[in-house]
A and B are shown apart, each in its own frame.
Chain A
Amino acid sequence: MTEPAIEVQRLNKRFGSAVVLDQIHFSVEPGQICALLGPNGAGKTTLLRCLTGAISPSFGRCLIHSEDTALTRHATRLFSYLPDIPPLEDSLRLDEYLRLHSTLRGYTGSTDDVLARVQLIDRKHMLIDKLSRGQRSRLALAECLLHNPPVLILDEPSAGLDPAQVILLRQLLRDLSGDHTILLATHNLAEVEAVCDSLVVLIDGRVRFQGTPTDFAKTFTDNGNIEQAWLALAGAGA
């Protein structure tokens, strides 16, 4: 039996008296694309931040390939994290930015490949400040792919992309799966249906469902429609 690529064990996170994450427990097998679904304020970003080691859990632990991300700096080489708002250095050019991050991550190869992969190679001497929102998202994704980590943690990567770019992104994710494990936080149910092997539903800081999209749809509806399943679980307000 192979070890899970991502494993969250009895994770609790409190901010003062507010419990944001409560007994979160799930795992993602290597090579899978797992969607993290949840309404706004459900704790998705907090969960991802705990998973990346940016904040320490109040209780429990997060493992990536058996490395505790809160304890070992070495774990940072095992994954890449794409936040919902890409934190880019606006005063740098694209190639400078990627060169910086390749050095920071200990990667010594060319940056042109990843730029070509996200179709930004022709703008590599441009200031990041002058990029559109979609281009920024693609650049952030390129940064994630730089050192070819086994695990990708993506927080709404398709936000701000035009339809063609969304299609390309999905294709890219499919290409990456198998070699990479991807945890994808998203609100886009169509995207979940299209690319994800499994999903975790987080509502009010608790895991409400873990399984495949098909199981999810079947569990909460009779007709197997994922959108109706979502509405049935989270309610129209979500």
Chain B
Amino acid sequence: MRQAARFFIRQTIALYTTELIRQGCSTAYATLIILWTLVCGLFFQVVVSYATNHELPLGETPMSFFFRASPLLLPLLLIVFVPHLSMDAIAGRKENGRLEHLFICGVHPLALLTGAWAATCTLLLALLIPPICFHVFLSIHGTADFGRTLSALLSLCAQSFSIAALGYACSSIMNNKQSAGLLALGLGLTWWVIDAFGHVFESSLTIVRDVLPLTAFVYDSAFGLLSGSSLLAHGIIVLLFLFLAHTVLSPRHQKRIKIINSGLALLLAGLVLTSSSQCTAHSDFTSTQEHALAPQTQQLLRELQPSGISATLVTTPHMLHDPIDGGIINATQHSLSLMKTYGLTVHELDPGLDPAGAAKLGNDLQISADDWQRPLLLLRHSGSYEIIPADELGIVTERDGQRLLAAVQVEGSVLAALQRFLQPQQIQVAWYVGADARPLGDIHTNNPRCLGRFHRLCAQAGLSLTLSPEWETLFTCDPRVIMLLGIHADPPAEIIQQLDRFLNNGGRLCLGLDGIHPQRLPKLAQLLGRYGIHWSDAQLVFPASTQSGEQVFLSSQEIPALSNTGPSAFATAEQHAIFADHLVALQATRGEFKSLSLFPQLALAEGAFLKRDGQLPTASNSQLYSLVAAGSEKSHKLCRITVLASVDMLSDEHLSVSGNRLLATGLVHWLAHEKRSALLPPKAVEQTRYLLHDGERAFLIWGIGLGLPGFSFLCMGYIVWRRRRTV
């Protein structure tokens, strides 16, 4: 037995070596390599040319865009060229009797398949050389994000290997090279189209799944196994295709067995494909996976596990296709997938597809028909539900350039909601709604002067709001937080004194100015001046030194500088430490990217709360929608103050922008809770900025952009020539 195994391995290695030589020196492989380096070279040129001021921000946007694009592009090249490599190994041998001769010589079909497939895979690994060269070159000029590179390269490998396996399956089925090549090309293109238009097929499959009860079980089981790991799906596909090829090739199998086995393998491969719903492999070790979260968040999620939380995301079909709300759904699903990672139960409910389930849940929860028209997140713990509208979670669509931001948002929204859900606490908030204050109005009226949405956010944050129409009743509820939003006149003197005592005792104050007019609120200005906050002319001013040392001045002039810290709010843990208490403000500069640009980091300077008229203020006396926040510790009690230059930031109109909603969510949590649930620091990431001199930039453009394809052309030409020359 051992001798047979040893002989099998020797045969496999011999065939592997032979195939490596044969395929590696073929013109099809040479063409593939040259084309691939050409594509890479052109792409690198675009990346370098696009970078402005000779700064090449690598690791986040440009390379991630490349690696995101390449898994779509690479299959096309592979689908065209890999059949050329595989069809000669099996179908070509069948044509001229070499295959039969090999079997007569005692070659095991599996040894032939494994050896040939492994040789193809080895040769396809060469496709990784150009991206690695590019990355290594750039890493000389800065610190590289190898986690992301590794993810992308593994994805490329996985899909290369599975396309190669598909080629061998087709080559085994057909009896001549041409038909094998055509079959592989047809199946590969179909696979690619399914991936490119995956959302269409996914909807159809979901319907099929729900119509047929048996498929629902199979589909859900497979989906549960594979949806989180396309690498695993690709691994299974490779095994199935090789099994199919082996069954067909094996001369000792009866025809009936061959047909049954092939059908079974194809059925399983189809199931795997539809379950993973993608032909391109995606792996990501840096964004959606747990280690991208801050340690505190991971700890929080681990603590949630034994609590038995289950979440139901209620969606509606039109929501899934809506460009804006669909994005919210996607982002919410992204959050839910994180919850899944930590073992929390999550499932989706579409009232259109499952009316019975929706009706039952609707009855249990007394949800009105109107509520079903928008996405909801239902959290259940110990039998009771809490309903959170998914469009108010403050999550924006996940994009590659925004990975840590997405994690921060998750930490600041869904997880905050989860934490609040687990530890329900009512924090008393006094909200002055006198005649001179901004009205609350109705919820979701999109009234620019209305604070209805903000009111709703406060309620969701577990704040118990006591509306006070008179100054005298402001402190009667023993508040933890006081909201003074949009007032036009100072409170009476005794209220100012009470406010002073309130802040000294660790109270929290949210002051929303209705434009910066120093003469309008002189007493409040004097009070807050003691905490280091001043306002004059058209700006909020936060001096460099205060009692606590926790301060930041944030205005539009500083926002462009902040945009250089990378796509996440904080590129380093040090930066986070500096701005820890003011994350709410910084998030606002990052939260909204309505225009999808090729390199989104260039749009970072567009702060969400500057979005109202779509332009940065240019004049020095422009009215700014700025926010300052301060924390001050006195007598071991931490008081917190936020001042908004314009309360419009919290109006319904502005809160319809997700970045502003995020700001408001963070603001509320920061004010209300001792724990900084919205302020969990993101995972520390390394600085990934690169500075290139003119010479280096020129080298990159000409050397890699054009030199690489030229070099590969010369290399492959030499290899083929040397192979074919007569000794």
Q: Does A126 contact B727, Cβ atoms closer than 8 Å?
A: yes
Contact of B98 among A81, A87, A103 (CB under 8 A): A87
* Residues in A121-169 with C-beta less than 8 Å from chain B: 125-127, 130
Query: Across the interface, do B97 and A87 meet the contact criterion of CB distance under 8 Å?
Result: yes
Q: Contacts A73-B106, A76-B104 given: A91-B21 contact, CB under 8 Å?
A: yes
Is the C-beta of B615 less than 8 angstroms from some C-beta in chain A? Answer: no
Most chain B C-beta atoms within 10 Å of own C-beta, residue among A77, A89, A104, A127: A104
User: Quick one: which of B10, B101, B108 contacts A103, CB cutoff 8 A?
Assistant: B10
A87–B26 contact, CB under 8 A?
no
Chain A residues in 8 Å Cβ range of B25: 91
Cβ of A60 under 8 Å from chain B: no
Taking the complex as formed, is A52 at the interface, i.e. its CB lies under 8 A from any CB of chain B? yes
Which of B11, B96, B101 is the most central at the interface, judged by chain A CB atoms within 10 Å of its CB? B101
Chain A residue nearest in CB terms to B103: A54
Residue A85 CB within 8 A of the other chain: yes
Check A106/B727 contact, CB under 8 A, given A76-B104, A77-B106, A92-B22.
Answer: no
Interface contact B106-A105, CB-CB below 8 Å: yes
List residues of chain A with CB within 8 A of the CB of B104: 52-54, 76, 81
Q: Which residues of A contact B101 (CB under 8 A)?
A: 81, 83, 87
Q: Name the residue among A49, A85, A101, A130 with the largest chain B CB count within 10 angstroms.
A: A101
Residues of B contacting A126 with CB < 8 Å? Answer: 726-727
Give the contacting residue for A89; candidates B13, B17, B18, B251; CB below 8 A: B18
Q: Does A96 reach chain B (CB closer than 8 Å)?
A: yes
* A49 to B251 Cα, complex, angstroms: 13
Minimal beta-carbon separation of B118 from chain A (angstroms): 16
- The verdict on B562 contacting chain A, using a C-beta distance below 8 Å, is no
For A64-76 the 0/1 string (1 means CB < 8 A from B) is 0000000001001
B31 CB to nearest A CB, Å = 16
- Give Cα A87–Cα B107 distance, bound, in whole angstroms: 15
The one of B11, B107, B724 in contact with A127, judged by C-beta atoms closer than 8 angstroms, is B724
Q: Which of A53, A81, A100 contacts B14 (CB 8 A)?
A: A100
Are B22 and A104 interface neighbours, CB within 8 A?
Answer: no
Q: Which residue of chain A is the closest to B727 with respect to CB atoms?
A: A125
In-complex Cβ contact of A76 among B93, B96, B106, B727 (8 A) = B106
Cross-interface CB contact of A104 among B11, B26, B251, B724, cutoff 8 Å? B11
Among A184-208, those with CB < 8 Å from B are none
The answer to whether B21 touches A96, judged by C-beta atoms less than 8 angstroms apart, is yes
Q: Is the CB of B97 within 8 A of A83?
A: yes
Q: Digit string of B13-46 for contact with A (CB within 8 Å is 1, else 0)?
A: 1110110011001100000000000000000000
Contacts of A127 in B (CB 8 A): 723-724, 726
Residues of the A chain whose Cβ atoms lie less than 8 Å from the Cβ of B724: 127
- If over half of B's interface residues share one DSSP class (helix, strand or loop), that class is named, otherwise mixed; here it is helix
Shortest C-beta distance, B585 to chain A (Å), equals: 66
Q: Interface digits, B69-113 against A, CB 8 Å rule (1 contact, 0 not)?
A: 000000000000000000000000100111011111111100000
Smallest CB–CB gap between B176 and chain A, Å? 15
A114 to B15, CA, bound (A): 21
Bound-state CA distance A27–B7 (Å) is 31
Chain A: CB-nearest residue to B112: A104
Instruction: Give, as a whole number of angstroms, the nearest-CB distance from B680 to chain A.
Output: 60
* Contact flag A89-B105 (CB < 8 Å), given A100-B14, A130-B726: no
Q: Whole-angstrom distance between the alpha carbons of A49 and B108 in the complex?
A: 18
| Contact size range, B | 20 to 34
Contact A104 B726 (CB under 8 A): no
- Report whether B7 and A106 are in contact in the complex, using a CB–CB cutoff of 8 Å: yes
C-alpha spacing A130/B102, complex, angstroms: 22
- Name the residue of chain B whose CB is nearest to the CB of A97: B18
Asked whether, in the complex, the Cβ of A76 is within 8 Å of the Cβ of B18, the reply is: no
Q: Which of A54, A76, A99 interacts with B100 by CB under 8 Å?
A: A54
* Number of A residues with CB within 8 Å of any CB on chain B: 28
Known: A54-B251, A85-B97, A87-B97. Is A103-B14 also a contact (CB below 8 A)? yes
Contact B14 A104 (CB under 8 A): yes
CB within 8 Å of A: which of B186-230?
none
Cβ-defined contact, B103 with A104, below 8 A = no
Residues on A with beta carbons closer than 8 Å to the beta carbon of B93: 87
Shortest CB-to-CB span from A129 to chain B, Å, is 8
Q: Looking at the assembled complex, report how far the CB atom of A160 sits from the nearest CB atom of chain B, in whole angstroms.
A: 16
- Given A83-B97, A85-B96, A87-B101, A104 contacting B107 (CB threshold 8 A): yes
Bound-state Cα–Cα, A76 to B726, Å:
34
Contact B97 A92 (CB under 8 A): no
- Complex-state Cα separation, A92 to B98, whole angstroms: 13
Closest to B17 in A: A100
Please determine whether B105 and A92 come into contact, CB atoms closer than 8 angstroms.
no
Indicate whether A87 sits within 8 Å of B96 (C-beta atoms), given known contacts A92-B21, A103-B10, A106-B7. yes
Which residues of B (688-727) have their CB < 8 Å from a CB of A? 723-724, 726-727
The residue on B at minimum CB distance from A147 is: B105
Contacts of B17 in A (CB 8 A): 100
| Cα–Cα distance between A125 and B726 once the two chains are bound (Å) | 8
Question: How far is B102's CA from A84's CA once the two chains are assembled, in angstroms?
Answer: 15
Closest to A130 in B: B726
Residue from B18, B251, B723 within 8 A of A100 (CB atoms)? B18
Contact A91 B26 (CB under 8 A): yes
* Chain B residues within 8 Å of A54, by CB: 100, 103-104, 251
Bound CA span A99–B13, Å? 12
Query: Whose C-beta in chain A lies nearest to the C-beta of B101?
Result: A87
Shortest Cβ distance from residue B117 to the other chain A in the assembled complex, whole angstroms: 17
- The digit string for B278-292, where 1 denotes a CB below 8 A from any CB of A, is 000000000000000
Query: Chain A residue with minimal CB distance to B724?
Result: A127
Give Cα distance in the complex from A92 to B20, angstroms: 11
Closest Cβ of chain B to A72, distance in Å, is 10
Closest residue on chain A to residue B107 by CB atoms: A104
By a CB distance below 8 angstroms, the chain B residues around A93 are: 727
Interface readout for A81-121 with B: 1 if CB under 8 Å, 0 if not? 10101011101110010011101111000000000000000
Query: Which residues does chain B contribute within 8 Å of A52, judged by CB atoms?
Result: 104
- Complex alpha-carbon distance, A130 and B100, angstroms: 23
Give B592-646 interface residues, CB cut-off 8 Å to A.
none
**B11 pairs with A103, CB closer than 8 A:** yes
Q: Which residues of B contact A73 (CB under 8 A)?
A: 106, 108
User: Chain A residues with Cβ under 8 A from B103's Cβ?
Assistant: 54
Residues of chain A within 8 A (CB-CB) of B98 are 87-89
Residues of chain B within 8 A (CB-CB) of A81 are 101, 104
Given A54-B251, A127-B726; A101-B105 close (CB under 8 Å): yes
Q: Which of B234-271 contact A (CB under 8 A)?
A: 251
Bound Cα distance from A130 to B251, whole angstroms: 32
Closest to B99 in A: A87
Interface of chain A residues 28 through 73 with chain B (CB within 8 A): 49, 52-54, 73
Q: In the complex, A77→B104 CA distance in Å?
A: 9
In angstroms, Cα B104 to Cα A52, docked, is 6
Are the C-beta atoms of B21 and A104 separated by less than 8 Å? no
A92–B18 CB distance below 8 A: yes
Closest to B100 in A: A54
Cα of A105 to Cα of B15 in the assembled complex, Å: 12
Q: Are A104 and B102 in contact (CB under 8 A)?
A: yes
- The minimal Cβ–Cβ distance linking A92 to chain B, given in whole angstroms, is 7
Contacts of B727 in A (CB 8 A): 93, 125-126
- List of 3 A-B pairs having minimum Cβ-Cβ separation, nearest first: A76-B106, A103-B14, A125-B727
List, sorted by A's number, 30 A–B pairs whose CB atoms are closer than 8 Å: A54-B103, A73-B106, A73-B108, A76-B104, A76-B106, A81-B101, A83-B97, A87-B96, A87-B98, A87-B101, A88-B98, A89-B22, A91-B21, A91-B25, A92-B18, A99-B14, A100-B14, A100-B17, A100-B18, A101-B105, A103-B11, A104-B11, A104-B15, A104-B102, A104-B107, A106-B10, A106-B106, A126-B726, A126-B727, A127-B726
Taking A81-B104, A85-B96 as known contacts, 5 extra A-B pairs with beta carbons closer than 8 A to each other, sorted by chain A number, are: A49-B100, A89-B22, A103-B11, A106-B7, A127-B726
Interface residues of A (CB under 8 A from B): 49, 52-54, 73, 76-77, 81, 83, 85, 87-89, 91-93, 96, 99-101, 103-106, 125-127, 130
